[in-house]
Amino acid sequence: MPLWTIHLEGGPRRVNHAAVAIGDRIYSFGGYCTGEDYDVTRPMDVHILDTLSLRWKLLPTPDVSSDTPVPYQRYGHTAVTVGDCAYIWGGRNDKDGACNILFCFDSSNLSWSKPTVYGRIPGARDGHSSCLINNKMYIFGGFEEEIDRFNNEIHLFDFENMSWSYVKTCGQPSRWRDFHTAVGIDNIMYIFGGRSDEGGDIFTNHEIYCNKIQTFNTITNTWSQLPVTHGAIPSGRRSHSAFTYQGLMYIFGGYNGIYDQHYNDVYALDPVKMEWMEVKVKGDQPCPRRRQCCCIIGSQVFLFGGTSPKDQHTQRTENDLLDHSDLYALDFSPSLKILCQLAVLKYKLETKCLPADLRWDLTAMTTNNTISRSCNTNG
């Protein structure tokens, strides 16, 4: 029974950031916050969440005068994990534009480097997706700033020889798009959502939000459309989150610009049965939002950041959005201990009869506000 078990405020206020899980920590890179100055060049910030203590830490700002390469602050980039390292690619800001330099962040010593790479480097972009399959990072889509167009190509970076290559594909390519998601299950990349345009690769402000699943076979380099014809199919959206758990692909939230609609729903795709399912999650759930991050550790998905409308019922602009600094955890397999703790907090039960270690945990939870005191049983 999946359950929203944790709700905390006071983390990094970030939108369109990128994050990875390494061990029991989550590393969040860059992003933006409404009101901050993005007309200057400054080093990318790194926030670290200890998922055991549920405490955030901001790393000190690197010395830009040193010879150590550090990526500039940006949004719309991606990150993948290889061993103890996170690799950051793409993204843009208002001063420096888009970037196509690969950066490496080593979590063992909290340092940046710029690896020497070979091959055909993709054009700078933001809003693309990256997906790690068989020690290769597959880049798809996004918006290329220099040539001012959407992209529907696939490029891969092979971490064995640190080289880029353009992938020649078979089949009908997926539609040009940005701010979609891609996940890898076995040798297949599953692509969902994003913002497309009636102009194809040219932005005409006539947006399309498709809810079809496109797949890319990384062994045969072949495109196909997954024939999902039954189940509770989610609506098309962009700037949502996607992750995998026990062979299923999950999506959360996002935004549809045609309907001006933000979402906080959870759907799961079974690629074997070719069926969508809406997942009803109980607990204190996040509000509808887009541009958040989701990272999975064990059976828990940690969701943080993103942006939502201040008023769900009125037409709005970017200035009418509220950037979040909260943290949620969705637990696919909550322990009996967690369920007891939530019940005690919800119903304000007497704890004298509980074991000492559980009483101590409840005291810490109450003191540190590490688990929300409310649990919305309506989901």
Tell me the pLDDT band of 316, cut-offs 50, 70 and 90: low
Per-residue pLDDT, averaged over 116-125, amounts to 97
pLDDT in tens, 267-312: 999 999 999 999 999 999 999 999 999 999 999 999 999 999 987 6
Per-residue pLDDT, averaged over 74-97, amounts to 96
Per-residue pLDDT, averaged over 217-226, amounts to 96
Give residue 162's region: left, alpha or beta (phi > 0; psi -120 to 50): left
Q: Give residue 199's identity as a one-letter amino acid code.
A: G
Tell me the pLDDT band of 376, cut-offs 50, 70 and 90: very low
pLDDT in tens, 128-157: 999 999 999 999 999 998 888 999 999 999
Please give the structure tokens belonging to residue 170.
């078979």
pLDDT in tens, 39-84: 778 999 999 999 999 999 999 987 766 677 999 999 999 999 999 9
Fold that domain 3-365 belongs to in CATH: Neuraminidase (2.120.10)
Please check the confidence at residue 25 and state whether its pLDDT lies above 90: yes
- Say what the pLDDT of residue 219 is: 98
- Say what the pLDDT of residue 318 is: 57
Domain boundaries, the chain: 3-365
Number of other CB atoms surrounding residue 304 within 10 Å: 27
Per-residue pLDDT, averaged over 153-168, amounts to 98
With beta carbons less than 8 A apart as the criterion, state whether 136 and 156 touch.
Answer: yes
Please give the structure tokens belonging to residue 65.
């005068």
- Give the contacts of 11 (CB within 8 A, at least 6 positions apart): 47, 49, 56, 304, 305, 325, 326, 327
pTM, entire model: 0.89
With beta carbons less than 8 A apart as the criterion, state whether 193 and 240 touch.
Answer: yes
